[in-house]
Amino acid sequence: MGLAEFERKKEEKINGVIYDMSPAPSYQHGIINSNIHTAIKQGLKGSICIVSIENLDFRYHPEVSDDYVCPDVMVLCDRKHLKGGTYSGVPGFVLETLSPSSAKRDRTEKKDIYEAAGVEEYWIVSPQGAVEIYYLKNGKYVLEHSYILQSDREEEDYNADTLIRLKGFPHITMTLSEIFEGTE
C-alpha cells in the first residue's frame, strides 16, 4: 500500500455533489486561517466553545442527507453535536478564505448553506486583503462590514489598525493587520 492510499482526500458534498478541494490553496490561505484561528482560540480560553481550522466537516442538515462542507474556521459551542470528524449542530461563527477553486461556491452555495443553517456570523476573507462580514438578520445574511486592507500609513484610507470583533463573542478582537500578518 502506498502513502497516497492513507492520505485523506479533502472534499465537500453539497446537494449530493462531491467537490474535490485539491490542490491545496496558496500559502497565504493557510496563514490567514491560522492568524484568525489563533486569535479566536485565545479568546475562547476557559469557554465551553472550541474553534476548528480546516479539519472538521459541518453536516448542515444531517436529518435529510449526508451532505457536508469543511469550513476554514468554525466556532462551536454545543459539543453534543460533535462526532468523530463531523459537527452537526449550528456553529456560532464560520469563516471561509477564498481560493481560486472555491471562491464562487464560498460566496453562493456555502453562504446559502450557512444562512439556512442559522449561523449568526459568516466571514469571507480574500488573501488579497479583503474581509466581508455577514450577520444573520431575520433569517437572511446582511453584509454589515466590508474592508480592504490599506497598510500604508501615508494613505488617507489607512485601516490596518481597524479593530474587528466577533459579534457573538465580542471579547474576541483582531486588527486587519493581524488577520493578514505574514501574507506579504
Instruction: Determine the CATH number of domain 27-53+72-77+90-179.
Output: 3.90.1570.10
pTM reported for the whole predicted model: 0.90
pLDDT in tens, 45-79: 999 999 999 889 999 988 888 999 999 999 999 99
Q: Measuring CA to CA, which residue among 90, 45, 94 is closest to residue 74? A: 94
- Cβ-Cβ contacts under 8 Å for 176 (sequence gap 6 or more): 129, 131, 147, 149, 151, 159, 160, 161, 162, 164
- At residue 7, does pLDDT exceed 50? no
pLDDT in tens, 122-174: 999 999 999 999 999 999 999 999 999 999 999 999 999 999 999 999 999 99
**Residue 46: DSSP 8-state:** T
Cell, residue 103:
471562491
Alpha carbon distance 153, 157 (integer Å): 8
How do the domains of the chain map onto residue ranges? 27-53+72-77+90-179
Alpha carbon distance 93, 160 (integer Å): 23
